[in-house]
């Protein structure tokens, strides 16, 4: 009898639990009056990817925005996406509600960079790694690197000016790579720099290729190079530990890290974050520098102005005070605005990706769990409401600060670029030497845009450099 009562109660309990769940689900359904954003999803699976890739992606997004407004849905590479082209919506995703949207990258790319790199993560681990990266790339840390960056800039320019036509983008990549290595490792033996460079360039070639573990393919070669990079970084770590040479650069920060239990980071966590930073630092900075050369070349009057600004800095130097300092890099307002305007006009990071971790309602629209969201930086930077005549390259527009949240070349919120200070300083330093001692002419056609995957002028902007005087 007792058994029967128990079973009876158990059934009652389960039934009420079930009805509670059903009811709750029902209630949820009622609450969800929010509708999906407007837009077309294209063919199932392929979606609108083909269209996006067959035309200039910027025209694709802009025409959608015109048709559907600032929030619209589409399908890219098989994933349903919601695109956000207003500053408020980008801020909602990146700044005020980042916990509802996680970073999302294809697994194959994650494996090449290293799954422990900070930008794949959220929450506690991300916050800790980010703090280390921010400390190592703070203005104070970048300040100490200026002389070393200057030496890299001087020898790069020297190597370009032997009369040969150079691919500007490729040369800028080499420059950005060396500055990246310097800021991660401090002084590093030539042998290691060379091995890192060679293997990293193999890794890079496989990054946008079809992911397959078939030997001989670019992706497979990249994976092999990635393993060798682990070994190289492992050797450097070993050496630094033996010499107890722990500096404030990123490697030093990673090696010194202890969590509240006293645990250190694993070898994988260290090398994934190092490769991650190299990856984030190189092509970005190099493509911005390439665009600066193109924009300056296209506006000879502006070029004269900025040369005058830079030459004035040399003239103010009295004998013993040669070389750049942090405070001198703060006295280049026009050069600085040229960098800001290039970041806006070229918007080399046109958008970013996140994934909704729950159903999210925004402005009456439903963003279903699992859907991707894409804040469209470029559309915001090219909206005439925020930047008058957005197609015109006009550094003087930055004499007045842009409206809040309308200018995000380095992203926004908890994943915003921690390398932005370093990036700006290394560009200022290179431009100083380039504008005071060199002339350059562009070779061949430079009017088309190539995606690498960042937009750059065609053929990487072929140029010939000459030393003045
Ligand atoms: C002009 C050059 C650069 C541009 C335009 C740029 C832009 C960006 C943007 C837009 C993001 C955010 C991406 C997102 O929210 O999904 C980002 C993140 C990041 N950038 Fe940069 N970046 C540049 C240079 C650098 C440099 C030189 C470094 C390293 C020294 C660096 C390291 C990083 C890292 C580690 C992240 C990930 C941060 C996180 O997830 O918390 N970047 N960058
Ligand atoms: C890559 O790294 C290894 C060390 O692990 C080194 O021996 C080799 O020369 C480097 N370069 C290439 C192209 O493999």
Distance between CA 383 and CA 85 in Å, rounded? 9
Structure tokens at 143: 């300040």
Q: Which residues of 428-447 are buried (b: 16+ CB within 10 A; e: fewer)?
A: bbbbbbbbbbeebebeeebe
Asked whether 281 and 425 are in contact (CB, 8 A), the reply is: no
Asked whether residue 289 carries a pLDDT value surpassing 60, the answer given is yes
Note the pLDDT of residue 218: 94
What Cα–Cα distance (Å) separates residue 426 from each residue in 282, 322, 333, 346?
12, 18, 15, 18
The share of the chain scoring above pLDDT 90, in percent, equals 75
Distance between CA 417 and CA 129 in Å, rounded? 13
Q: Given pLDDT bands bounded at 50, 70 and 90, which one contains residue 55?
A: low
Mean pLDDT estimate for the chain: 89
Pocket test residue of 282, 340, 410 for ligand 1, highest count of atoms within 8 A of CB? 410
173 domain residue, yes or no: no
- CATH assignment at residue 61: 3.30.43.20
Calculate the dihedral angle through the C-alpha atoms of 158, 162, 168, 172, rounding to the nearest 10 degrees. -20
Asked whether residue 304 carries a pLDDT value surpassing 90, the answer given is yes
Asked whether 415 and 103 are in contact (CB, 8 A), the reply is: yes
Between strands 372-375 and 71-76, the pairing is: unpaired
Asked whether 301 and 269 are in contact (CB, 8 A), the reply is: no
Domain of 84, in residue numbers:
29-105+348-381
Q: Please tell me whether 417 is known to bind a ligand.
A: yes
Query: What distance in angstroms lies between residue 374's CA and the mean position of ligand 1's atoms?
Result: 16
Nearest CA to ligand 1 atom 43: 417
Sequential DSSP letters for 226-259: HHHHHHHHHHHHHHHHHTT---SSHHHHHHH---
User: Which ligand places an atom closest to the C-alpha of 101?
Assistant: 1
Nearest CA to ligand 2 atom 9: 195
Query: What distance in angstroms lies between residue 443's CA and the mean position of ligand 1's atoms?
Result: 31
Asked whether residue 420 carries a pLDDT value surpassing 90, the answer given is yes
Bigger pLDDT: 227 or 454? 227
Domain count, the chain: 1
Bigger pLDDT: 4 or 279? 279
Q: Cβ(187) to ligand 2 under 6 A?
A: no
131 domain residue, yes or no: no
Q: Given pLDDT bands bounded at 50, 70 and 90, which one contains residue 4?
A: low
Asked whether 52 and 58 are in contact (CB, 8 A), the reply is: no
- The mean per-residue pLDDT over the stretch 132-156 comes to 95
Pocket test residue of 198, 200, 202 for ligand 2, highest count of atoms within 8 A of CB? 198
Note the pLDDT of residue 25: 45
pLDDT digits over 244-288, tens only?
A: 776 789 999 999 999 999 999 999 999 999 999 999 999 999 999
Q: Three-state DSSP class for 383? A: coil
Q: Which atom of ligand 2 is nearest to the CA of 195?
A: 10
Query: What distance in angstroms lies between residue 228's CA and the mean position of ligand 2's atoms?
Result: 7
Q: Cβ(199) to ligand 2 under 6 A?
A: yes
User: Which ligand places an atom closest to the C-alpha of 354?
Assistant: 1
Distance between CA 380 and CA 323 in Å, rounded? 38
Structure tokens at 226: 């990635």
The pair phi, psi for residue 226, each rounded to 5°, is -60, -40
CA angle 134, 137, 143 (to 5 degrees): 140
The pair phi, psi for residue 164, each rounded to 5°, is -80, 155
Pocket test residue of 195, 196, 235 for ligand 2, highest count of atoms within 8 A of CB? 195
Total length of the chain: 469
369 domain residue, yes or no: yes
pLDDT digits over 373-403, tens only?
A: 999 999 999 999 999 999 999 999 999 999 9
Query: What distance in angstroms lies between residue 35's CA and the mean position of ligand 2's atoms?
Result: 54
Distance between CA 357 and CA 100 in Å, rounded? 5
Query: What distance in angstroms lies between residue 198's CA and the mean position of ligand 2's atoms?
Result: 7
Query: What distance in angstroms lies between residue 420's CA and the mean position of ligand 1's atoms?
Result: 7
- The H or E element containing residue 225 is helix 218-242
- The mean per-residue pLDDT over the stretch 163-189 comes to 96
Between strands 79-84 and 71-76, the pairing is: antiparallel
Neighbours of 465 (CB within 10 A): 22
Note the pLDDT of residue 450: 87
Q: Given pLDDT bands bounded at 50, 70 and 90, which one contains residue 352?
A: very high
Q: Cβ(195) to ligand 2 under 6 A?
A: yes
Nearest CA to ligand 1 atom 22: 417
Dihedral class, residue 176 (left if φ above 0, else alpha if ψ from -120 to 50, else beta)? alpha
Note the pLDDT of residue 60: 74
Q: Three-state DSSP class for 178? A: helix
Asked whether 395 and 302 are in contact (CB, 8 A), the reply is: yes
Nearest CA to ligand 2 atom 14: 199
Nearest CA to ligand 1 atom 29: 419
Asked whether 226 and 211 are in contact (CB, 8 A), the reply is: no
- The mean per-residue pLDDT over the stretch 62-67 comes to 83
Note the pLDDT of residue 27: 43
Note the pLDDT of residue 26: 43
Distance between CA 154 and CA 162 in Å, rounded? 14
pLDDT digits over 21-46, tens only?
A: 444 444 444 455 789 999 888 765 55
pLDDT digits over 204-223, tens only?
A: 999 988 898 899 999 999 99
Asked whether 251 and 186 are in contact (CB, 8 A), the reply is: yes
Note the pLDDT of residue 2: 54
Q: Cβ(228) to ligand 2 under 6 A?
A: yes
What Cα–Cα distance (Å) separates residue 195 from each residue in 110, 199, 225, 319?
22, 6, 10, 39
Note the pLDDT of residue 224: 97
**Strand residue runs (E) in 6-129:** 71-76, 79-84, 101-103
Q: Given pLDDT bands bounded at 50, 70 and 90, which one contains residue 315?
A: confident
What Cα–Cα distance (Å) separates residue 335 from each residue in 31, 96, 146?
53, 33, 17
Of 260, 102, 280, the C-alpha closest to 183 is 280
447 domain residue, yes or no: no
Note the pLDDT of residue 51: 58
Single pTM value for the model: 0.91
95 domain residue, yes or no: yes
User: Which ligand places an atom closest to the C-alpha of 149?
Assistant: 1
Q: Cβ(467) to ligand 2 under 6 A?
A: no
Asked whether 266 and 408 are in contact (CB, 8 A), the reply is: no
Asked whether residue 72 carries a pLDDT value surpassing 70, the answer given is yes
Distance between CA 360 and CA 283 in Å, rounded? 34
Note the pLDDT of residue 43: 62
Note the pLDDT of residue 318: 67
The residue written with tokens 């059903």 in the block is: 22
211 domain residue, yes or no: no
Of 422, 452, 424, 468, the C-alpha closest to 169 is 452
364 domain residue, yes or no: yes
Instruction: Name residues contacting ligand 1 (CB within 6 A).
Output: 118-119, 130, 133, 137, 183, 277, 280-281, 284-285, 288, 348-349, 352, 409-411, 415-419, 422-423
Note the pLDDT of residue 32: 57
Nearest CA to ligand 2 atom 7: 195
Q: Given pLDDT bands bounded at 50, 70 and 90, which one contains residue 57?
A: low
pLDDT digits over 169-179, tens only?
A: 999 999 999 99
Query: What distance in angstroms lies between residue 234's CA and the mean position of ligand 2's atoms?
Result: 13
Query: What distance in angstroms lies between residue 127's CA and the mean position of ligand 1's atoms?
Result: 15
43 domain residue, yes or no: yes
User: Which ligand places an atom closest to the C-alpha of 226?
Assistant: 2
């Amino acid at each position: 009898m007792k058994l029967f009562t128990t079973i009876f109660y158990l059934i009652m309990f389960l039934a009420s639990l079930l009805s509670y769940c059903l009811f709750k689900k029902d209630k949820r359904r009622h609450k969800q009056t929010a509708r999906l954003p407007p837009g077309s999803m294209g063919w199932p699976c392929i979606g609108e990817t083909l269209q996006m890739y067959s035309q200039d992606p910027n025209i694709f997004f802009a025409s959608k925005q015109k048709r559907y407004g600032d929030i619209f849905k589409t399908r890219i590479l098989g994933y349903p996406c919601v695109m956000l082209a207003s500053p408020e919506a980008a801020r909602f995703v990146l700044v005020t509600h980042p916990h509802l949207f996680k970073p999302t990258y294809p697994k194959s790319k994650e494996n090449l960079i290293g799954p422990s790199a900070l930008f794949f993560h959220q929450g506690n681990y991300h916050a800790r790694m980010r703090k280390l990266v921010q400390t190592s790339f703070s203005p104070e840390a970048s300040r100490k690197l200026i002389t070393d960056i200057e030496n890299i800039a001087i020898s790069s320019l020297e190597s370009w000016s032997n009369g040969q036509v150079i691919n500007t983008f490729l040369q800028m990549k080499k420059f950005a790579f060396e500055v990246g290595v310097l800021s991660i490792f401090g002084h590093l033996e030539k042998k290691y720099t060379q091995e890192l460079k060679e293997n990293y360039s193999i890794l890079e070639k496989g990054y946008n290729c079809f992911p397959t573990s078939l030997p001989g393919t670019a992706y497979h070669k990249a994976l092999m190079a990635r393993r060798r990079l682990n070994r190289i970084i492992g050797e450097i770590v070993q050496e630094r530990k033996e010499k107890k040479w722990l500096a404030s650069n990123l490697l030093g920060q990673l090696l010194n890290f202890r969590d509240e239990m006293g645990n250190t980071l694993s070898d994988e966590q260290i090398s994934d974050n190092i490769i991650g930073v190299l990856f984030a630092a190189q092509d970005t900075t190099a493509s911005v520098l390439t665009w600066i050369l193109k924009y300056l070349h296209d506006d000879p009057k502006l070029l004269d102005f900025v040369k005058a600004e830079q030459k004035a800095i040399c003239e103010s130097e009295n004998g013993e005070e040669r070389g750049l300092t942090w405070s001198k890099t703060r006295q280049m307002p026009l050069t600085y605005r040229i960098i800001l305007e290039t970041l806006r006009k070229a918007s080399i990071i046109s958008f970013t990706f996140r994934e909704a971790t729950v159903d999210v309602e925004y402005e009456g629209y439903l963003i279903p769990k699992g859907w991707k969201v894409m804040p469209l930086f470029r559309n915001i930077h090219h909206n005439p409401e925020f930047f008058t005549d957005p197609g015109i390259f006009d550094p003087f527009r930055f004499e007045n600060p842009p409206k809040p949240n309308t200018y995000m070349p380095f992203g926004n919120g908890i994943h915003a670029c921690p390398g932005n200070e370093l990036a700006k300083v290394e560009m200022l330093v290179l431009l100083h030497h380039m504008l005071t001692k060199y002339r350059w002419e562009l070779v061949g056609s430079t009017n088309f845009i190539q995606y690498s995957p960042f937009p750059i002028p065609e053929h990487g902007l072929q140029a010939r450099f000459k030393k003045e005087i």
